[in-house]
Amino acid sequence: MKAIKALLASSLILSAVLTGCADKKNESSGTAPAEVTLDTEDLESKYKINTRYMNNYLFDTPEEVSTATVEIPNGKIVIEHSGDNKSGYSVIYNIYGDTQEILDEINTHIDIKSEIKDNEQIMTLVEANTGEDIDTWFSKNYPDCYIVYDAYVTVPSYVTDYKAVCGTGDVDFENISGSFTADVGVGNITFSDIEITDASEIKCGTGNITMSNITYKANTDIKAETGNITFCLPLNGSDGADISVKADTGNIEVTGIKNYDVKDESKKDASQSLSIAVENCNIGFSVKTGKIKIDKE
Q: What is the mean pLDDT of residues 108-132?
A: 94
Report the pLDDT value the prediction gives residue 297, as an integer from 0 to 100. 54
pLDDT digits (tens, 9 = 90+) for 41-75: 788 889 999 999 999 999 999 999 999 998 888 77
Number of compact structural domains in the chain:
2
* Residue 9 pLDDT class (50, 70, 90 cuts): very low
Pairwise CA distance, residues 189 & 289, whole Å = 20
Domain membership flag for residue 93? yes
Domain membership flag for residue 83? yes
Same domain, 188 and 271: no
Domain membership flag for residue 14? yes
In this predicted structure, the answer to whether residue 30 has a pLDDT above a threshold of 90 is no
pLDDT digits (tens, 9 = 90+) for 152-184: 888 888 999 999 888 888 888 888 889 999 999
Report the pLDDT value the prediction gives residue 25, as an integer from 0 to 100. 47
Report the pLDDT value the prediction gives residue 31, as an integer from 0 to 100. 46
pLDDT digits (tens, 9 = 90+) for 273-290: 999 999 999 999 999 999
Domain membership flag for residue 150? yes
Same domain, 144 and 179: yes
Same domain, 131 and 195: yes
Do 3 and 155 form a contact (C-beta atoms < 8 A)? Answer: no
Domain boundary among 207, 223, 253: 207
Same domain, 74 and 169: yes
Domain membership flag for residue 276? yes
Domain that holds residue 199: 3-207
In this predicted structure, the answer to whether residue 109 has a pLDDT above a threshold of 70 is yes
Pairing outcome for strands 146-155 and 76-81: parallel
Domain membership flag for residue 98? yes
In this predicted structure, the answer to whether residue 130 has a pLDDT above a threshold of 80 is yes
pTM: 0.82
> Which H, E and C letters describe the chain, residue by residue?
CCEEEECCCCCCCCCCCCCCCCEEEEEECCCCCCCCCCCHHHHHHHCCEEEEEEEEEEEECCCCCCEEEEEEEECEEEEEECCCCEEEEEEEEEEEECCHHHHHHHHCCEEEEEEEECCEEEEEEEECCCCCEHHHHHHHHCCCCEEEEEEEEEECCCCCEEEEEEEECCEEEEEEEEEEEEEEEECCEEEEEEEECCCEEEEEEECCEEEEEEEECCCEEEEEEECCEEEECCCCCCCCCEEEEEEEECCEEEECCCCCEEEEEEEECCEEEEEEEECCEEEEEEEEECCEEECCC
Same domain, 200 and 281: no
pLDDT digits (tens, 9 = 90+) for 199-258: 999 999 999 999 999 999 999 999 999 999 999 999 999 999 999 999 999 999 999 877
Do 17 and 9 form a contact (C-beta atoms < 8 A)? Answer: no
Domain membership flag for residue 137? yes
Same domain, 163 and 17: yes
Same domain, 57 and 145: yes
Same domain, 186 and 260: no
Domain boundary among 207, 242, 261: 207
Same domain, 185 and 270: no
In this predicted structure, the answer to whether residue 33 has a pLDDT above a threshold of 80 is no
Domain boundary among 139, 174, 207: 207
C-alpha triplet 55, 59, 62: angle, nearest 5°? 165
Same domain, 236 and 203: no
Q: What is the mean pLDDT of residues 78-93?
A: 84
Domain membership flag for residue 213? no
Same domain, 76 and 160: yes
* Range scoring the smallest mean pLDDT among 13-27, 137-151, 165-179: 13-27
Task: Give the whole-number percent of the chain exceeding pLDDT 90.
Answer: 65
Same domain, 78 and 9: yes
